[in-house]
Amino acid sequence: MNFEPFTHLTFDCYGTLIDWETGILAAILPVLAGRGIAAEATQLLQHYVRYEAAQEAAPYQRYRNVLQNVMADIAAELGFTPTAAELQALPNSVGHWPPFADTVASLVRLQTRYKLVIVSNIDEVMFAETRKLLQVEFDDVITAEQVESYKPAPTHFHVALQRLGVLPQYVLHVAQSLYHDHMPAKALGLTTVWVQRPSRLPGTGLALPAAATPDLVVPDLQSLAAMMGL
């Protein structure tokens, strides 16, 4: 790939920069353990994918509410009614979901050449906590709360192009999810890099299946930075 034309890198956050599988399991498994429920991690994440997609396809609600409802749906699937505190386990955990080991150093390297932008299915307050963990100052952040929409709807990308004031050919979108990111980004003419992070749900990660053809596939962010000569 010729990286020379690009001036902006847009990033999905959760799943690409942040290891949300680890964070989600760390939030839900203790709730289940407290109720004496043994749950297999892969199956639990499959429940998460199904219920989150359903919540995000409904009329817009803040991501905190999405996660509360996902927790309620998982509890119903496993046969219990969650307490108010248990319903908060997922949304309260987001600020503790860890970056992947290569994320921060790679962002620092990439920022020496490109403007960095977040396009994420998240609330403002939640991302403020994540932002501290990422340790870089982004040039812009487009959240679901701002656009009142969830990817794979294209609104994040329309707003990003409008706000950044650049044509699609100058933007490289970097993301793990084919469903949430590559499908809508490619439809708008963006070049995309698929970061194939390790996942308990190979091929899709925490997302529904989707048909999309990224322009480049890398195993992690540091590999992308190295390919760019950074």
Closest CA to 78 of 44, 102, 103, 107: 44
The DSSP element (H or E) to which 43 belongs, if any, is: helix 41-57
The DSSP element (H or E) to which 143 belongs, if any, is: strand 140-143
- Please identify which residue in the block is written with the tokens 């407290």: 34
Closest CA to 51 of 32, 68, 26, 27: 68
Rg of the chain on CA atoms, in Å: 17
Q: What is the separation of C-alpha 110 from the centre of its chain, rounded to a whole number of angstroms?
A: 19
What is the layout of strands, in order, in the sheet containing 140-143?
A: 140-143, 115-120, 8-11, 171-175, 191-195, 216-218
Q: How far apart are CA 151 and CA 163, in angstroms?
A: 17
Within a 13 Å sphere around the CA of 48, how many CA atoms are in the beta-carbon half?
A: 23
Tell me, yes or no, if 140 is annotated catalytic: no
Spatial neighbors of 156 by CB under 8 A, at least 6 apart, are 119, 120, 142, 144, 147, 149, 184
Question: Which residues are catalytically annotated?
Answer: 12
